[in-house]
Copies of this chain bind each other. A is one copy, B any other.
Amino acid sequence: MKFCSECAHPVALAVPEGDNRPRYVCPHCHTIHYQNPKLVIGSIPVWEQDGKLQVLLCKRAIEPRYGYWTLPAGFMENEETTEQAAVRETEEEAGAHVELGNLFTLLNVAHVHQVHLFYLARLRDLDFAPGEESLDVRLFTQDEIPWDDLAFPTIRTTLELFFADRVKIREGGSYGFHSRDIVRPMLAPREPD
């Protein structure tokens, strides 16, 4: 942020009175421009038939992570609820129609100022197709999940937790709600010469 969005004057970084952290403030009209984390919301669309469970993934047609696989997800919009965001993103990216279940994961990605939420979801039918932001949309059994070609750590974590809960369900349990922090990956320490 370089200029005030209210009066076009250059902004400055300063700690406002009564606050304790630097904000972009306008020395001219005194507007304080707060910046806060964004919600990224998606679903885990599942098709289950004859004892075989498959999860729907989308191959990204946009950066970042073009060509990598993701659960349908995207930024929550104003004027919608978290559930509406999950359903909308699933329709937009995968052309898929889902019956939404409970919230399954809340994943903090603090270093990129994001909180990711994923909802359980049941595909209503097999009438899906890639949206503008997807190259491909496919169903995967657990054995087929492209673990090395997943787009983001939150996708891997959500899928790992999902399949772990499936084991519990076979033993009479049910899906839980899981909260995790995704920590910025550190560079590997250099090997001694």
The interface of chain A, by Cβ under 8 A from chain B, is: 1-8, 10-11, 18, 21, 33-39, 75-84, 102-103, 106, 108, 110-111, 113, 115, 132, 177, 179, 181
Q: How many copies does the complex hold?
A: 2
Is there contact, CB below 8 Å, between A34 and B75?
yes
A7: chain B residues within 8 A (beta carbon): 2-3
Known: A106-B103, A132-B18. A78 touches B36 (CB 8 A): yes
Please pick, from B5, B76, B84, B108, the residue contacting A33 in the complex, using a CB distance under 8 A.
B5
Q: Is the CB of B81 within 8 A of A110?
A: yes
Q: Which residues of B contact A78 (CB under 8 A)?
A: 35-37, 110, 113
> Within the assembled complex, what's the spacing in Å between the Cα atoms of A193 and B113?
54
**What is the CA–CA distance of A39 and B5 in the complex, to the nearest angstrom?**
22
Cα–Cα distance between A21 and B85 once the two chains are bound (Å): 14
- Are B79 and A111 within 8 A (Cβ)? yes
